């Protein structure tokens, strides 16, 4: 059985504006922001504004709202970062690799011949994240 949603998770704090993030896209239901430990240039995260731990307790409505934004961000990221493709990743519970327990989809641009960096590999420079978020916002406009 899946554990209960913890409203003190880091993405809930980002959603409440308690900690900063480099925002890329926002509407009344969804937020997208840069991953602080990017696995490739332009790695970002798409989350619902409503609580869900992961896919296992998400509602059909949350998933229905999320997927068009995931696609929109993936297309914008490929354009903004001149990527050759994009990986969409989504982990459910710790044994499956989940570390932050608010539902999120990773959008990771991929480049021919460039290996993906490890999950939670290292913090990126804030100025680079800010510049990448700005590039994505332009590609989304």
Residues that bind ligand 5GP (CB under 6 A): 10, 21, 33-37, 91, 97-100, 120
The residue whose Cβ lies closest to ligand 5GP is 37
Q: How many CB atoms lie within 10 A of CB 101?
A: 23
In the complex, least distance from residue 97 CB atom to ligand 5GP, rounded to whole angstroms? 5
The residue from 22, 43, 104, 106 that is catalytic is 104
Which residue is associated with the tokens 């997927």?
67
Task: Please report how close the Cβ of residue 4 comes to ligand 5GP at its closest, in angstroms.
Answer: 17
Q: How far is the CB of 28 from ligand 5GP (least distance, A)?
A: 21
Told to judge if 22 belongs to the known catalytic residues of this protein, a careful annotator would answer no
Put the strands of the sheet holding 105-110 in their side by side order: 23-26, 30-34, 44-48, 105-110, 85-89
Q: Cα torsion at 24, 133, 108, 112 (round to 10°)?
A: 140
In the complex, minimum distance from the CB of residue 101 to ligand 5GP, in angstroms, rounded to a whole number: 7
Residue whose CB is less far from ligand 5GP, 63 or 100: 100
Residues 110, 126, 136: CA angle, nearest 5 degrees: 45
**85 or 121: CB nearest ligand 5GP:** 121
Residue number with CB closer to ligand 5GP (35 or 40): 35
Both tokens of residue 42? 């332009």
Handedness of CA 20, 25, 27, 29 (dihedral sign): negative
Q: Which is nearer to ligand 5GP, 64 or 99 (CB)?
A: 99
- The residues annotated with a catalytic role in the active site are 104
């Amino acid at each position: 059985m899946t554990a209960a949603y913890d409203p003190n998770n880091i993405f809930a704090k980002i959603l409440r504006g308690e900690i900063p993030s480099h925002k890329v896209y926002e509407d009344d239901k969804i937020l997208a922001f840069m991953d602080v430990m990017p696995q490739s240039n332009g790695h970002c995260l798409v989350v619902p504004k409503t609580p869900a731990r992961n896919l296992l307790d998400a509602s059909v409505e949350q998933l229905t709202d999320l997927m068009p934004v995931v696609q929109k961000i993936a297309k914008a990221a490929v354009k903004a970062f001149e990527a050759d493709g994009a990986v969409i990743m989504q982990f459910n519970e710790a044994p499956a690799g989940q570390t932050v327990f608010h539902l999120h989809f990773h959008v990771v641009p991929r480049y021919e011949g460039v290996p993906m960096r490890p999950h939670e590999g290292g913090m990126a420079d804030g100025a680079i994240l800010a510049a990448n978020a700005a590039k994505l916002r332009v590609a989304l406009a």
